[in-house]
Amino acid sequence: MARVACIGECMLELSGADNKAMTLSYGGDTLNTAVYLSRLGVETDYVTALGDDPYSDWMVEQWRGEGVGTDLVVRAAGRVPGLYAIRNQPGGERQFFYWRDQAPARDLFGFRESTALAARLARYELVYLSGISLSLYSPAHRETLFAVLDAARTAGSRVVFDTNYRPRGWPDAATARDVMTALLARVDIAAPTLGDDIAVFGDADATSCADRLHAAGVAEVVVKLDAEGCLVSMGGVRELVPTVPRADPVDTSAAGDSFNAGYLAARLAGAAPATAARHGHRLAGEVIMHRGAIIPRDAMPGSNL
């Protein structure tokens, strides 16, 4: 089987403190994970919809340059991708401003070309998506997505989910909770950040978060705890895996996305969950010391722990 398919949206990104000299890049949570998976040697394809404009062409070229497969990218005639601007605050936290309501990624499961996704995704070992992915789609398109995931799991694929809750993308937390609960019945590996699951599900702590996810049928859980590390839980065994704090992080963009990539790459290579979590911490710890979601290739940490 092919290794990983990541489903979601990538947008054009504007960043910089000076509005007259902002930098154009691109970003999206599942695309970030796809890039880092590819850099870690995992065969990875991206599943989204873009326009037929020069900026969409440029993004596809960039992804291919990172080794991310683009055969499952739908190109919609007359459409353009979403756009966001990012500003960094003291301590590395960031603010986002979006222009994305008409982005073609929102209609991914409504295009004629998407009818073949069920058969094509069944070839992948892992199918990865996030709460941001879910927030893009209409109720009807979510049902199509769920049918696609059901078919992939029947064929032997495993579904990986990161809550990655962004309130702006949902009518309210209750809607997000209902949609995510429906998805969790189809999830094999969950990698939420605790703060997101507190906001959506009201979990009291990492233990209760893991308990709820296991009760929903999720076999493997890794609850990210920001600077405190993560809790891994699988097969009745739980372990708190600490991280090494980094002083004065520059930009926390893609910290969770890169952790997920490091964790999944290690798990696909046969590492135990706790060892995989240390790989995830190491990559995320380097990512937050650079501006932007995707760090330079020469800044990627080695594989030894």
The DSSP-derived string for 61-118 is: HHHHHTT-B-TTEEEETT----EEEEEEPGGG-EEEEEE-TT-GGGGGGGSGGGGGHH
Q: Within the chain, where are the H helices?
A: 29-39, 54-65, 117-121, 131-136, 139-154, 173-184, 194-201, 206-215, 255-268, 273-287
Superfamily of domain 2-10+28-79+102-299 in the CATH hierarchy: Ribokinase (3.40.1190.20)
pTM tops 0.75 = yes
pLDDT at 52: 97
Q: Over its length of 305 residues, how does the chain's per-residue pLDDT go in tens digits? A: 679 999 999 999 888 777 888 889 898 999 999 999 999 999 999 999 999 999 999 999 999 999 999 999 999 999 999 998 887 666 656 678 889 989 999 999 999 988 888 889 999 999 999 999 999 999 999 999 999 999 999 999 999 999 999 999 999 999 999 999 999 999 999 999 999 999 999 999 999 999 999 999 999 999 999 989 999 999 999 999 999 888 788 888 899 999 999 999 999 999 999 999 999 999 999 999 998 789 999 999 976 55
Contacts of 295 (CB under 8 A, 6+ apart): 286, 287
**Whether 257 is catalytic:** yes
Residue-range domain boundaries for the chain? 2-10+28-79+102-299
H/E element, 224: strand 220-224
Q: Of 172, 197, 257, 298, which residue is the catalytic one?
A: 257
Distance between CA atoms of residues 177 and 89, nearest Å: 29
Contact 217, 58 (CB under 8 A): no
CA-closest candidate to residue 36, choices 70, 80, 78, 6:
6
Q: Which two tokens stand for residue 67?
A: 């080794």
